[in-house]
Amino acid sequence: MLQKKNYTVAVVGATGVIGREVVELLEERNFPVHELIPLASERSAGEKVEFFGRNWAVEKLAGSSFKGVDIAFFAAGTAQSLAFASVAVSAGAVVIDTSNAFRNDPAIPLIVPEVNSHVIPRHAGIIANPHSSTIGMVLVLKPIHDAAKIRRAVVTTFQSASGMGKNAIDELAQQTVSLLNFRDIKKSAYPHQIAFNCIPHDGEFLDSGDTTEEIGLANETRRIMEDDTIRVTATSVHVPVFRCYSESVNIEMEKKIPADEIRAILSSAPGILVYDDPARNLYPMAIDVAGKDEIYVGRIRKDVSLPNGINLWLVIDNVRKGAALNAVQIAEHLVK
């Protein structure tokens, strides 16, 4: 853990979707930052990032960028993390990485603070953020698992454009405008048209027919919950939504727990807000959860096909809690 009153903090990818959110959260949560070092690619160098009423100039990311840095948030993608995370560690920084560069490395802690913060001190310089879908799911699964031991979870994720970065957000917007004006569309961020469409494809396809991200969600869930007996199967879908991931989750437990008791368990769990009153058309939706810290959970009901089954629906702001906030919460544990 770090033992100082104020910290020099670098944000790699400071002009990107997640990087900007990290900077905003550091200010919002009054993180003890003495000096902010916003870093980005050469094309963004010289831009300004506002932080506590001051404009901080964005510097070009380089090997020398991390001198004197205590904590380095990496939010610029896998390639930059693989190239510069070890450089930052060698310079004395603790790296908190939001990409998928280190999620599969068993030597690097994979952290959702509300679930496994006790693992944070085991780091050797790098701490990884899980996939946004994993963060949302394990926050919901963990209190249920503690009460009734989960045997199996089946999840379908509905992932917004912001999970793919600014280019995907722009592509969704541009395609929408083009189609509404009867013009041809252009695509580059996605393999198919995303506007008015759903694409059941996230990551690289494996011989099994699963994608790397679907297998990753299953492996990350077991690892964070520290139980290799939980069986998880996933289908990941890109949807024409700008922000927030939604997930349909079916859970099989070792013992039967009524839906009302599941609601009570989740209502008292950290980081979760139960929003579940179908009679009044109240259930989580992306337009309501954007900008929120909590995971919203609703449509909690018995699975009539299983004796010990529960269905539920959750929504997470993938940029905020699914990336930036989770990373800042890890940093807060580091400096406690």
Angle, CA of 302, 306 and 307, to the nearest 5°: 85
pTM value > 0.85: yes
Q: What would the pLDDT profile of 241-277 be if each residue is shown by its tens digit? A: 999 999 999 999 999 999 999 999 999 999 999 999 9
What whole-number distance in Å separates Cα of residue 56 and Cα of residue 52?
Answer: 10
Pairing assessment for the beta strands 245-253 and 150-159 based on DSSP bridges = antiparallel
Pick the CATH number of 134-318 from 1.10.1740.10, 3.40.1350.10, 3.30.300.130, 3.30.360.10: 3.30.360.10
Ramachandran bin of 30, using left for φ above 0, alpha for ψ from -120 to 50, beta for the remaining angles: left
Tokens linked to 287: 């337009």
Domains in the chain: boundaries? 7-130+323-335, 134-318
Please provide residue 287's backbone torsions phi and psi, each rounded to the nearest 5 degrees.
-65, -20
**Nearest alpha-carbon partner for 304 in 245, 247, 259, 241:** 259
Alpha helix locations (H) across the chain?
A: 17-28, 78-90, 113-116, 132-148, 166-180, 212-225, 259-267, 286-289, 325-335
CB 203 within 8 A of CB 214: yes
What whole-number distance in Å separates Cα of residue 158 and Cα of residue 196?
Answer: 14
| Amino acid sitting at position 15 | T
Q: What would the pLDDT profile of 165-200 be if each residue is shown by its tens digit? A: 999 999 999 999 999 999 999 999 999 999 999 999
Give 282's Cβ-side CA count (13 Å radius): 9
Q: What percentage of the chain exceeds 70 in pLDDT? A: 99
Residue 28: C-alpha distances to residues 22, 24, 25, 287, 299 (Å): 10, 6, 5, 22, 32
CB 57 within 8 A of CB 50: no
What whole-number distance in Å separates Cα of residue 96 and Cα of residue 176?
Answer: 35
CATH architecture of the domain formed by 7-130+323-335? 3-Layer(aba) Sandwich (3.40)
What whole-number distance in Å separates Cα of residue 179 and Cα of residue 220?
Answer: 38
CB 239 within 8 A of CB 287: no
What whole-number distance in Å separates Cα of residue 323 and Cα of residue 96?
Answer: 10
Tokens linked to 244: 């927030």
- Three-state secondary-structure class, residue 280: helix
Q: What would the pLDDT profile of 110-120 be if each residue is shown by its tens digit? A: 999 999 999 99
CB 251 within 8 A of CB 174: no
Tokens linked to 275: 């929003």
Tokens linked to 114: 């509300």
How much is the pLDDT for 2?
A: 73
**Which stretches of the chain score pLDDT less than 70?**
1, 3
How much is the pLDDT for 3?
A: 65
Tokens linked to 101: 């560069």
**Nearest alpha-carbon partner for 104 in 134, 138, 83:** 134
